[in-house]
Amino acid sequence: MSSLNPSLPTVDEVTPASPAVVQLPRCICPDPTTHGELGDTVTLATKADLRMTLVANKAIRWLKTENPKASVAEVLAVLTETYVRHFVVAWSLLRREGKKLVPLELNHETIEAQLLSDVECAMLVGEAADQRFNEVILSPLLKAASTSSPDSSTDESTSAPKLNGHSPTSARSKRSLTTSSPTAGIVPTA
């Protein structure tokens, strides 16, 4: 992904220890003429703090409680939307106050109205957040899921049924291709 502003790093150039500044392809301010041709920037958190992590984990658990058959795609979509709603820490959006421009407050309502309402821009921010946070957020959930998987034993036999007291495979079995070899030369130890 190339940056529209050469002074800003692209998503691919951002390290986990640096803020992820996402360059948007256009201005999404309430007054779209604010930035001219240069798009806005959105900055993601350097790392997920406790609250961010809990919000993401609880969003996934809520989805699975409401819809136990939710697909992986649905879970990942909820996670990406959660990142866009809760992991943005700064942006360059402005609003007009009289004749001057002032920063647009960053809160749930303005994220909803300005960022989430623009699907292309929200997806760019979501993609950057996925790259940055998915491993951190999903690892504990995957570990917990793998240790708590349900017992897969069955009440009924899964073997082939016997016909006239014999297994169907025993009547058709052929001579084994494996052979035994003598153990000459091997001396047991006492």
pTM: 0.66
Q: Which residue has better confidence, 183 or 164?
A: 164
Residue 92 within a domain: yes
Residue 109 within a domain: yes
Domain that holds residue 26: 11-147
Residue 173 within a domain: no
Distance between start and end Cα atoms, the chain: 70
* Count of domains for the chain: 1
Residue 181 within a domain: no
Per DSSP, 113 falls in state I
- How remote is the C-alpha of 105 from its chain's centroid? 27
Residue 80 within a domain: yes
Residue 128 within a domain: yes
Give 90's strand partners. Answer: 43
User: Mean pLDDT across the stretch 85-109?
Assistant: 95
pLDDT grade, residue 78 (50/70/90)? very high
Helix or strand or coil: residue 5? Answer: coil
Could you report the per-residue pLDDT of 30-65, keeping only the tens digit for each?
987 787 778 999 999 999 999 999 999 999 999 999
Residue 2 within a domain: no
Residue 22 within a domain: yes
